[in-house]
Structure 1
């Protein structure tokens, strides 16, 4: 079986019997993993070598596909989405509270859009796969837009046991970056140029990102905030969740360009983004 969803409401979804034969020396490595998931786990040491490697890559691809499909089938409720919105606000607030180790003010001044993905999960028993859901707001002529919901997914196929939750922030720094976020879907490093963002006062002097990057990416894991390379990660619009949150279908372009009013539940998040943008501009 495979766990559907990433939150408290997750369910076990039957995938049929999976009983792979593990190479010698692997049993102890995977003994803490449910037997039905062991085909999706990276096994270290003597595992994953020789002829088994091709099969493991095939299983990796299958497991990632099932993860994304089962997560997409787990419909969000309005309360789930409000919790995600609140988490995004909290992540941004906590990261920006560390003035000497946060996003530099010159990047905040340049920002055209901000995406926050609380608890992007990487390698949770699944082939180094990463999956997360977050929210995006963009700058308009009169402030910041109402937010929309997005998905991020990708897989390195570097097998590993154990998951790691990472808070992620993407900053679009020009009109091209904003256009990327208005697409139905795009791939970082392929359709959109991105770079690990500079951090803190030292990053204030960095100008390399101005040359090519449309998006700057940041992560926070185990209390450490830093730029992160997200090449190969896919970003897509989550129209279903956006419609549930707003109670009616809205075009992403209309929302992010400021044509739709900010819902009351999203006001704290949008105000937090606006507060840091205004402060950065005022300190210029």
Structure 2
């Protein structure tokens, strides 16, 4: 009898520990979503130094990686966790969790954190987002994105780029070359966010309701990207 009671108590403690761990992970993901919304808001607060309206209006997906980590001494590396949403016939989709990793871009000593924004500009960019993993510059064409109201004029990004890439560090927002960076699905965090193993395609094509933790992020993207399409 005592053995059975002890066994049941042990199961209860394990269940409690697993539940607490899941709650902690979901809180972390919710924080990442809120940080991603803040990145978009802060970038777009100054239109003359933000993502051009023509790009916002034509975007098919948006990826935001708050505080992309870089650490290096001559040879560097980066790694970051982010979230992505795609445009659908019913509005912007619920988000999925992604991760980005790659070699060093530029000479650097020390470590710093940078916010990254990646904009998919066509259906091929959307198809890349549905893959388990792809590399910018190899599997998907990417270019440093133009900045400002009229910055897109005279460029060939519409013809060549599946993705436009941006960075923001210490208040400076600019296009950045992310060739060699690998973008992959974070299935574990996506499962924590939705409570089930829902395929990325189901979510990004708009067939999954947006969870409460993600509503601010999706609304923020919709606010700027839908307004851009209406004003173009």
TM bracket (short chain): 0.7 to 0.9
Aligned match of 2:230 = 282
Aligned match of 1:244 = 192
Contact 1:127 1:158 in 2 (8 A): no
In the TM superposition, residue 257 of structure 1 has moved relative to its aligned partner by 0.1
Contact 2:79 2:99 in 1 (8 A): yes
In the TM superposition, residue 205 of structure 1 has moved relative to its aligned partner by 1.6
User: Separation in 2 of the partners of 1:159 and 1:221?
Assistant: 16
Aligned match of 1:78 = 26
Which of 194, 204, 212 is equivalent to 2:160?
Answer: 212
Contact 1:115 1:135 in 2 (8 A): yes
Q: Greater RCO between the two (CA within 8 Å, min separation 6)?
A: 2
Aligned match of 2:54 = 106
CA displacement, residues 116-162 of structure 1 (integer Å, 9 cap, x when unaligned): 00010112569310110100000000100000000000113977531
Matched, 1:167 2:115: yes
User: Separation in 1 of the partners of 2:36 and 2:130?
Assistant: 19
Contact 1:146 1:256 in 2 (8 A): yes
TM-score (norm 1): 0.71
CA displacement, residues 171-199 of structure 1 (integer Å, 9 cap, x when unaligned): 00000011111110000000000000000
Which of 127, 148, 156 is equivalent to 1:179?
Answer: 127
User: Separation in 2 of the partners of 1:160 and 1:97?
Assistant: 29
Contact 1:133 1:151 in 2 (8 A): yes
User: Separation in 2 of the partners of 1:211 and 1:159?
Assistant: 30
Structure (1 or 2) with the greater helix fraction: 2
Stretches of structure 1 lacking an aligned partner (at least 5 in a row):
1-74
Aligned match of 1:3 = none
CA displacement, residues 67-89 of structure 1 (integer Å, 9 cap, x when unaligned): xxxxxxxx971111011011000
In the TM superposition, residue 206 of structure 1 has moved relative to its aligned partner by 3.8
In the TM superposition, residue 208 of structure 1 has moved relative to its aligned partner by 1.1
Aligned match of 1:40 = none
Secondary structure of the structure 2 residue equivalent to 1:200: coil
Matched, 1:270 2:221: no
TM-score (norm 2): 0.86
In the TM superposition, residue 204 of structure 1 has moved relative to its aligned partner by 3.6
Matched, 1:199 2:142: no
User: Separation in 2 of the partners of 1:201 and 1:111?
Assistant: 16
User: Separation in 1 of the partners of 2:62 and 2:129?
Assistant: 10
Stretches of structure 2 lacking an aligned partner (at least 5 in a row):
1-21
Q: How many residues align?
A: 211
Aligned match of 1:127 = 75
User: Separation in 1 of the partners of 2:185 and 2:176?
Assistant: 22
Question: What are the residue-to-residue correspondences of 1:34-113 with 2, within 5 Å?
Answer: 77-113=25-61
Structure (1 or 2) with the greater strand fraction: 2
Contact 2:105 2:178 in 1 (8 A): no
Contact 1:198 1:206 in 2 (8 A): no
